[in-house]
Amino acid sequence: MRTGVYPGTFDPVTLGHMDIIRRGAKLVDRLVIGVTTNPSKNAMFTVDERMAMMKREVADVSGEIHVVGFDSLLMDFAEREGAGMILRGLRGGGDFEYEFQMVGMNQQLNNRIETVFLMADVALQPIASRWVKEIAMFGGDIHKFVPPGVNADVIARVAQIGRKGS
């Protein structure tokens, strides 16, 4: 069984993430979506909230998909899940530089697991979770960037924590 891991913070889940998940699920028998924390990012949602969002959003995606939280080195997580590949999405040149360095480090940690890159759909390439959060915090419309359920989740969270610029 070919298992792939698609890791990320997914704070929040975007249409770009969903594009990579749908396409990536066709490349493996089992896709594990690893929801993690990143201390350098300002999270809007907890890991549990992000996992619940992700489970809801992937419910209609074809294939065997599991949503799992992790707080460890990616390569250790991938090994525990029995993955032979790490799936990563690329939006542009800036992503490539960061991902290129990460692949080099990951290969040093575990060279038995390959990294496979998928280019995001051209229409979705500009979407980034950090921009979605910023737009929402300033009262902008994010429905073009996230699934409808996530749109509602973000709007509710912004209402809870307070909008900037008001």
Predicted local confidence at residue 87, as pLDDT: 96
The catalytic site residues sit at 17, 41, 91, 129
CA distance 142 to 89: 21
CA distance 147 to 13: 8
Residue 47, CA distances (Å) to 10, 29, 51 in order: 9, 25, 6
pTM for the model stands at: 0.91
137 CB contacts (<8 Å, ≥6 apart)? 158, 163, 164
User: Residue-wise pLDDT tens for the chain (166 aa)?
Assistant: 999 999 999 999 999 999 999 999 999 999 999 999 887 778 999 999 999 999 999 999 999 999 999 999 999 999 999 999 999 988 766 667 777 888 778 888 889 999 999 988 888 878 889 999 999 999 999 999 999 999 999 999 999 988 766 5
